[in-house]
Amino acid sequence: MLRLASAGARAIVDMSYARHFLDFQGSNIPRAMQKLVVTRLSPNFREAVTLLRDCPVPLPGDGDLLVRNRFVGVNASDINYSAGRYDPSVKTPFDVGFEGVGEVVALGLSASASYTVGQAVAYMAPGSFAEYTVVPARAAAPVASAQPEYVSLPVSATTAYISLNELGGLSKGTKVLVTAAAGGTGQFAVQLAKKAKCHVIGTCSSDKKSAFLKSIGCDRPINYKTEPVSTVLKQEYPKGVDVVYESVGGAMFDLALDALAVKGRLIVIGFISGYQTPTGLSPVKAGTLPAKLLKKSASVRGFFLNHSLSKYQAAMDHLLKMHAAGDLVCEVDLGDRSAEGRFIGLESVFRAVDYMYMGKNTGKIVVELPRSVNSK
Protein backbone atom coordinates (compact mmCIF):
# COMPACT_ATOMS: atom_id res chain seq x y z
CA MET A 1 0.00 0.00 0.00
CA LEU A 2 1.27 3.52 -0.84
CA ARG A 3 0.36 6.63 1.15
CA LEU A 4 1.13 10.21 0.24
CA ALA A 5 1.95 12.51 3.14
CA SER A 6 0.89 15.58 1.13
CA ALA A 7 0.82 16.80 -2.41
CA GLY A 8 4.29 16.70 -3.84
CA ALA A 9 5.76 14.74 -0.91
CA ARG A 10 7.68 11.54 -1.56
CA ALA A 11 5.82 8.26 -1.35
CA ILE A 12 6.04 6.38 1.93
CA VAL A 13 5.93 2.60 1.59
CA ASP A 14 3.66 1.15 4.26
CA MET A 15 5.03 -2.31 5.15
CA SER A 16 2.57 -2.98 7.98
CA TYR A 17 0.50 -5.25 5.77
CA ALA A 18 3.43 -7.23 4.39
CA ARG A 19 2.84 -10.95 4.73
CA HIS A 20 6.34 -11.73 5.91
CA PHE A 21 8.93 -9.78 7.82
CA LEU A 22 12.33 -11.09 6.78
CA ASP A 23 15.41 -11.16 8.97
CA PHE A 24 17.61 -8.12 9.44
CA GLN A 25 19.50 -8.56 6.20
CA GLY A 26 16.76 -10.34 4.31
CA SER A 27 19.22 -12.09 2.03
CA ASN A 28 20.46 -14.13 5.00
CA ILE A 29 17.56 -16.49 4.35
CA PRO A 30 18.70 -18.83 1.57
CA ARG A 31 16.44 -20.11 -1.19
CA ALA A 32 17.21 -23.76 -0.42
CA MET A 33 17.89 -25.80 2.68
CA GLN A 34 18.52 -29.32 3.94
CA LYS A 35 15.96 -31.39 5.82
CA LEU A 36 15.20 -34.96 6.81
CA VAL A 37 12.16 -36.56 5.21
CA VAL A 38 10.46 -39.91 5.76
CA THR A 39 10.46 -41.56 2.35
CA ARG A 40 9.55 -45.08 3.47
CA LEU A 41 7.56 -46.23 6.50
CA SER A 42 9.82 -48.26 8.75
CA PRO A 43 10.85 -48.43 12.44
CA ASN A 44 14.43 -48.55 11.14
CA PHE A 45 15.22 -44.83 11.09
CA ARG A 46 18.08 -45.18 8.62
CA GLU A 47 15.84 -47.05 6.18
CA ALA A 48 12.88 -44.72 6.63
CA VAL A 49 14.52 -41.31 6.44
CA THR A 50 16.39 -39.49 3.66
CA LEU A 51 18.47 -36.32 3.88
CA LEU A 52 17.31 -33.95 1.13
CA ARG A 53 19.70 -31.12 0.27
CA ASP A 54 17.88 -28.73 -2.07
CA CYS A 55 14.47 -28.14 -0.52
CA PRO A 56 12.80 -24.73 -0.74
CA VAL A 57 12.86 -22.73 2.48
CA PRO A 58 9.20 -22.51 3.58
CA LEU A 59 7.41 -19.21 4.23
CA PRO A 60 5.45 -18.59 7.43
CA GLY A 61 1.75 -17.91 7.34
CA ASP A 62 -0.01 -15.13 9.22
CA GLY A 63 0.27 -16.76 12.65
CA ASP A 64 3.59 -18.49 12.08
CA LEU A 65 7.29 -18.05 12.73
CA LEU A 66 10.11 -19.13 10.45
CA VAL A 67 12.82 -20.44 12.77
CA ARG A 68 16.45 -20.97 11.81
CA ASN A 69 17.20 -24.07 13.85
CA ARG A 70 20.34 -24.09 15.99
CA PHE A 71 19.67 -27.23 18.04
CA VAL A 72 17.12 -30.02 17.56
CA GLY A 73 16.01 -32.77 19.93
CA VAL A 74 16.03 -36.51 19.32
CA ASN A 75 13.18 -38.53 20.83
CA ALA A 76 12.64 -42.27 21.17
CA SER A 77 9.32 -41.77 19.40
CA ASP A 78 11.01 -40.42 16.25
CA ILE A 79 11.05 -43.98 14.94
CA ASN A 80 7.38 -44.49 15.79
CA TYR A 81 6.72 -41.41 13.68
CA SER A 82 8.91 -42.67 10.83
CA ALA A 83 7.04 -46.01 10.97
CA GLY A 84 3.68 -44.23 10.60
CA ARG A 85 2.39 -45.56 13.92
CA TYR A 86 0.82 -42.32 15.11
CA ASP A 87 -1.25 -41.96 11.95
CA PRO A 88 -1.64 -45.18 9.96
CA SER A 89 -3.15 -43.22 7.05
CA VAL A 90 -0.06 -41.03 6.60
CA LYS A 91 1.54 -41.03 3.16
CA THR A 92 5.21 -40.51 2.42
CA PRO A 93 7.07 -38.26 2.01
CA PHE A 94 6.66 -36.24 5.22
CA ASP A 95 8.94 -34.22 7.47
CA VAL A 96 10.31 -35.58 10.73
CA GLY A 97 11.54 -34.21 14.08
CA PHE A 98 9.41 -32.76 16.90
CA GLU A 99 11.29 -29.93 18.62
CA GLY A 100 14.03 -27.38 18.31
CA VAL A 101 15.60 -24.15 19.43
CA GLY A 102 16.64 -21.33 17.13
CA GLU A 103 16.11 -17.74 16.07
CA VAL A 104 13.08 -16.23 14.40
CA VAL A 105 14.10 -15.01 10.94
CA ALA A 106 10.66 -14.26 9.49
CA LEU A 107 7.10 -14.15 10.78
CA GLY A 108 3.54 -13.44 9.82
CA LEU A 109 1.63 -10.31 10.73
CA SER A 110 -0.40 -11.85 13.57
CA ALA A 111 2.67 -13.58 14.98
CA SER A 112 4.50 -10.25 15.07
CA ALA A 113 2.23 -9.17 17.94
CA SER A 114 4.15 -11.54 20.23
CA TYR A 115 7.50 -12.20 18.54
CA THR A 116 10.23 -10.27 16.77
CA VAL A 117 12.87 -11.13 14.20
CA GLY A 118 16.06 -12.23 15.89
CA GLN A 119 14.29 -13.58 18.98
CA ALA A 120 15.36 -16.98 20.35
CA VAL A 121 12.57 -19.54 20.77
CA ALA A 122 12.07 -23.14 21.80
CA TYR A 123 9.21 -24.99 20.14
CA MET A 124 7.36 -28.24 19.63
CA ALA A 125 6.22 -28.64 16.02
CA PRO A 126 6.65 -31.29 13.32
CA GLY A 127 9.51 -30.95 10.87
CA SER A 128 12.28 -29.79 13.20
CA PHE A 129 14.93 -31.94 11.50
CA ALA A 130 15.56 -29.15 9.01
CA GLU A 131 17.66 -26.02 8.76
CA TYR A 132 14.48 -23.90 8.82
CA THR A 133 11.07 -24.82 10.25
CA VAL A 134 7.73 -23.03 10.12
CA VAL A 135 6.37 -23.00 13.67
CA PRO A 136 2.90 -21.82 14.75
CA ALA A 137 3.48 -18.95 17.18
CA ARG A 138 1.30 -20.73 19.76
CA ALA A 139 3.70 -23.71 19.69
CA ALA A 140 6.75 -21.60 20.51
CA ALA A 141 8.12 -20.14 23.74
CA PRO A 142 10.62 -17.26 24.05
CA VAL A 143 13.95 -18.29 25.62
CA ALA A 144 16.93 -16.25 26.77
CA SER A 145 19.20 -17.49 23.97
CA ALA A 146 19.48 -20.34 21.49
CA GLN A 147 21.18 -22.79 23.84
CA PRO A 148 20.90 -26.60 23.73
CA GLU A 149 19.49 -27.06 27.23
CA TYR A 150 16.23 -25.44 26.13
CA VAL A 151 15.63 -28.31 23.69
CA SER A 152 14.98 -30.58 26.66
CA LEU A 153 11.86 -28.66 27.68
CA PRO A 154 9.25 -28.70 24.85
CA VAL A 155 8.66 -32.48 24.78
CA SER A 156 10.61 -34.23 27.54
CA ALA A 157 10.09 -31.87 30.47
CA THR A 158 6.47 -31.04 29.66
CA THR A 159 5.64 -34.74 29.40
CA ALA A 160 7.01 -35.32 32.91
CA TYR A 161 5.42 -32.20 34.35
CA ILE A 162 1.89 -32.63 32.99
CA SER A 163 1.68 -36.41 33.44
CA LEU A 164 2.86 -36.32 37.06
CA ASN A 165 0.56 -33.40 37.86
CA GLU A 166 -2.45 -35.02 36.21
CA LEU A 167 -1.94 -38.67 37.10
CA GLY A 168 0.70 -38.94 39.81
CA GLY A 169 -1.06 -37.62 42.89
CA LEU A 170 2.32 -36.72 44.35
CA SER A 171 2.68 -35.62 47.97
CA LYS A 172 5.30 -35.67 50.68
CA GLY A 173 6.66 -39.18 51.24
CA THR A 174 5.19 -40.68 48.05
CA LYS A 175 7.52 -43.40 46.74
CA VAL A 176 8.13 -42.83 43.03
CA LEU A 177 9.94 -45.22 40.69
CA VAL A 178 11.26 -43.68 37.47
CA THR A 179 12.48 -46.07 34.76
CA ALA A 180 15.18 -44.87 32.33
CA ALA A 181 15.64 -42.16 34.93
CA ALA A 182 18.80 -40.66 33.42
CA GLY A 183 17.18 -40.19 30.00
CA GLY A 184 15.67 -37.16 28.34
CA THR A 185 12.35 -37.23 30.19
CA GLY A 186 13.32 -39.39 33.18
CA GLN A 187 15.65 -36.68 34.50
CA PHE A 188 12.67 -34.34 34.84
CA ALA A 189 10.42 -36.92 36.47
CA VAL A 190 13.12 -37.40 39.12
CA GLN A 191 13.51 -33.67 39.78
CA LEU A 192 9.81 -32.84 39.78
CA ALA A 193 9.04 -35.71 42.17
CA LYS A 194 11.79 -34.46 44.50
CA LYS A 195 10.30 -30.95 44.36
CA ALA A 196 7.07 -32.56 45.60
CA LYS A 197 9.06 -34.05 48.54
CA CYS A 198 8.73 -37.61 47.27
CA HIS A 199 11.18 -40.48 47.78
CA VAL A 200 12.56 -41.24 44.30
CA ILE A 201 14.00 -44.47 42.94
CA GLY A 202 15.52 -44.41 39.45
CA THR A 203 16.69 -47.20 37.14
CA CYS A 204 19.65 -46.68 34.80
CA SER A 205 22.35 -48.64 32.98
CA SER A 206 25.72 -47.41 34.29
CA ASP A 207 27.54 -46.09 37.33
CA LYS A 208 28.01 -42.78 35.51
CA LYS A 209 24.26 -42.45 35.16
CA SER A 210 23.78 -43.43 38.81
CA ALA A 211 26.11 -40.60 39.81
CA PHE A 212 24.14 -38.18 37.65
CA LEU A 213 20.87 -39.31 39.26
CA LYS A 214 22.30 -38.73 42.71
CA SER A 215 23.39 -35.25 41.64
CA ILE A 216 19.78 -34.31 40.77
CA GLY A 217 18.34 -35.70 44.00
CA CYS A 218 17.46 -39.33 43.26
CA ASP A 219 17.33 -41.16 46.60
CA ARG A 220 18.01 -44.66 45.27
CA PRO A 221 19.57 -45.04 41.82
CA ILE A 222 19.57 -48.66 40.62
CA ASN A 223 22.10 -49.65 37.95
CA TYR A 224 20.27 -52.64 36.50
CA LYS A 225 23.50 -53.91 34.94
CA THR A 226 24.92 -54.58 38.40
CA GLU A 227 21.83 -54.93 40.63
CA PRO A 228 18.62 -56.86 39.89
CA VAL A 229 15.90 -54.22 40.04
CA SER A 230 13.23 -56.64 41.29
CA THR A 231 15.45 -57.80 44.15
CA VAL A 232 16.25 -54.26 45.24
CA LEU A 233 12.58 -53.27 45.21
CA LYS A 234 11.43 -56.33 47.14
CA GLN A 235 14.13 -55.98 49.78
CA GLU A 236 14.17 -52.20 50.22
CA TYR A 237 10.52 -51.39 49.43
CA PRO A 238 8.57 -54.41 50.70
CA LYS A 239 5.28 -52.48 50.75
CA GLY A 240 5.79 -51.38 47.14
CA VAL A 241 6.00 -48.04 45.37
CA ASP A 242 3.14 -45.59 45.02
CA VAL A 243 3.86 -44.22 41.55
CA VAL A 244 5.82 -45.53 38.56
CA TYR A 245 6.84 -43.25 35.69
CA GLU A 246 7.45 -45.89 33.03
CA SER A 247 8.99 -45.50 29.58
CA VAL A 248 10.78 -48.80 28.92
CA GLY A 249 8.08 -51.44 28.48
CA GLY A 250 8.49 -55.20 28.20
CA ALA A 251 10.08 -56.87 31.21
CA MET A 252 10.51 -53.53 32.97
CA PHE A 253 6.78 -52.88 32.75
CA ASP A 254 6.05 -56.27 34.30
CA LEU A 255 8.55 -55.64 37.07
CA ALA A 256 7.14 -52.17 37.78
CA LEU A 257 3.59 -53.52 37.86
CA ASP A 258 4.60 -56.15 40.42
CA ALA A 259 6.28 -53.45 42.53
CA LEU A 260 3.15 -51.30 42.89
CA ALA A 261 1.83 -50.66 46.37
CA VAL A 262 -1.86 -50.80 47.29
CA LYS A 263 -3.60 -48.06 45.29
CA GLY A 264 -0.40 -47.63 43.29
CA ARG A 265 -0.39 -45.74 39.99
CA LEU A 266 1.63 -46.78 36.96
CA ILE A 267 1.96 -44.05 34.32
CA VAL A 268 2.99 -45.30 30.86
CA ILE A 269 4.66 -42.57 28.81
CA GLY A 270 6.37 -44.95 26.38
CA PHE A 271 7.86 -48.41 25.84
CA ILE A 272 11.16 -47.82 24.09
CA SER A 273 12.28 -51.46 24.37
CA GLY A 274 9.84 -52.41 21.62
CA TYR A 275 9.96 -49.47 19.24
CA GLN A 276 12.48 -51.03 16.86
CA THR A 277 10.42 -54.21 16.43
CA PRO A 278 7.89 -54.67 13.59
CA THR A 279 4.96 -54.29 16.02
CA GLY A 280 6.54 -51.56 18.14
CA LEU A 281 5.91 -53.60 21.28
CA SER A 282 7.87 -55.81 23.64
CA PRO A 283 5.85 -58.69 25.13
CA VAL A 284 4.28 -58.08 28.55
CA LYS A 285 2.38 -60.44 30.84
CA ALA A 286 -0.93 -58.81 30.01
CA GLY A 287 -2.96 -61.88 30.89
CA THR A 288 -2.37 -61.34 34.60
CA LEU A 289 -2.95 -57.59 34.50
CA PRO A 290 -6.61 -57.54 35.66
CA ALA A 291 -5.85 -59.75 38.66
CA LYS A 292 -2.81 -57.71 39.69
CA LEU A 293 -4.70 -54.42 39.48
CA LEU A 294 -7.67 -55.78 41.38
CA LYS A 295 -5.51 -57.29 44.12
CA LYS A 296 -3.95 -53.90 44.86
CA SER A 297 -6.72 -51.51 43.76
CA ALA A 298 -4.00 -50.22 41.46
CA SER A 299 -4.20 -48.45 38.11
CA VAL A 300 -2.32 -48.20 34.84
CA ARG A 301 -2.73 -44.97 32.88
CA GLY A 302 -1.25 -43.97 29.56
CA PHE A 303 -0.06 -40.44 28.83
CA PHE A 304 0.47 -38.97 25.35
CA LEU A 305 1.46 -35.31 25.31
CA ASN A 306 -0.68 -34.43 22.28
CA HIS A 307 -3.80 -35.14 24.35
CA SER A 308 -2.88 -32.46 26.90
CA LEU A 309 -2.03 -29.50 24.69
CA SER A 310 -4.45 -27.26 26.57
CA LYS A 311 -2.04 -27.46 29.51
CA TYR A 312 1.12 -27.24 27.43
CA GLN A 313 1.81 -23.49 27.46
CA ALA A 314 1.34 -23.15 31.22
CA ALA A 315 3.70 -26.10 31.71
CA MET A 316 6.37 -24.56 29.47
CA ASP A 317 6.09 -21.22 31.24
CA HIS A 318 6.49 -22.87 34.64
CA LEU A 319 9.45 -25.01 33.55
CA LEU A 320 11.23 -22.04 31.96
CA LYS A 321 10.85 -20.10 35.21
CA MET A 322 12.22 -23.04 37.19
CA HIS A 323 15.22 -23.28 34.89
CA ALA A 324 15.86 -19.52 35.01
CA ALA A 325 15.79 -19.66 38.82
CA GLY A 326 18.32 -22.50 38.88
CA ASP A 327 15.72 -24.96 40.19
CA LEU A 328 15.75 -27.33 37.21
CA VAL A 329 18.73 -29.15 35.70
CA CYS A 330 18.36 -29.61 31.94
CA GLU A 331 21.03 -32.18 31.13
CA VAL A 332 21.76 -32.56 27.43
CA ASP A 333 23.95 -35.02 25.54
CA LEU A 334 25.46 -33.63 22.35
CA GLY A 335 27.38 -36.83 21.64
CA ASP A 336 30.77 -35.53 22.72
CA ARG A 337 31.60 -38.95 24.21
CA SER A 338 30.34 -40.94 21.24
CA ALA A 339 32.80 -42.78 19.03
CA GLU A 340 32.49 -40.29 16.15
CA GLY A 341 32.17 -37.22 18.35
CA ARG A 342 29.64 -34.45 18.72
CA PHE A 343 26.35 -34.57 16.83
CA ILE A 344 26.71 -31.73 14.33
CA GLY A 345 24.59 -31.34 11.19
CA LEU A 346 21.43 -33.09 10.07
CA GLU A 347 23.39 -36.09 8.83
CA SER A 348 24.35 -36.83 12.45
CA VAL A 349 20.69 -37.29 13.48
CA PHE A 350 21.00 -40.88 12.25
CA ARG A 351 23.94 -41.45 14.59
CA ALA A 352 22.10 -39.77 17.43
CA VAL A 353 19.10 -42.09 17.04
CA ASP A 354 21.42 -45.13 17.11
CA TYR A 355 23.16 -43.70 20.19
CA MET A 356 19.82 -43.41 21.98
CA TYR A 357 18.80 -46.97 21.23
CA MET A 358 22.15 -48.26 22.47
CA GLY A 359 21.32 -46.58 25.80
CA LYS A 360 24.41 -44.39 25.71
CA ASN A 361 22.88 -41.01 26.53
CA THR A 362 22.71 -39.18 29.82
CA GLY A 363 19.99 -36.53 29.53
CA LYS A 364 18.35 -35.28 26.37
CA ILE A 365 20.04 -36.07 23.06
CA VAL A 366 20.55 -32.86 21.08
CA VAL A 367 21.96 -32.25 17.60
CA GLU A 368 23.66 -28.97 16.74
CA LEU A 369 22.95 -27.40 13.35
CA PRO A 370 25.58 -24.99 12.02
CA ARG A 371 24.55 -21.97 9.99
CA SER A 372 23.39 -22.86 6.49
CA VAL A 373 26.07 -22.97 3.82
CA ASN A 374 23.57 -23.11 0.96
CA SER A 375 23.86 -20.43 -1.68
CA LYS A 376 21.40 -17.58 -1.32
Whether 374 shows a pLDDT value over 80: the answer reads no
Three-state DSSP class for 351? Answer: helix
109-127: average pLDDT: 95
Q: Are strands 49-56 and 32-38 parallel, antiparallel or unpaired?
A: antiparallel
CA-to-CA dists, residue 128 to 36, 50, 111, 214, angstroms: 9, 14, 19, 32
Q: Which of 266, 263, 260 is nearest to 248 (CA)?
A: 266
85-107: average pLDDT: 94
Question: How many CB atoms are closer than 10 A to CB 325?
Answer: 8
pLDDT (tens digit per residue) in 17-55 = 444 555 544 547 898 999 999 999 999 999 999 999 999
pTM exceeds cut of 0.85: yes
CA-to-CA dists, residue 46 to 78, 131, 244, 255, angstroms: 11, 19, 32, 32
pLDDT for the residue 177? 98
Q: Give me the residue spans of the domains in the chain.
A: 30-153+331-368, 156-307
Q: What band does 87 get if pLDDT is binned at 50, 70 and 90? A: confident
Q: Does domain 30-153+331-368 have CATH number 3.90.180.10?
A: yes
pLDDT (tens digit per residue) in 270-299 = 999 999 999 999 999 999 999 999 999 999
- CATH number at 156-307: 3.40.50.720
Helices and strands (H, E) in the chain, number of each type:
10, 18
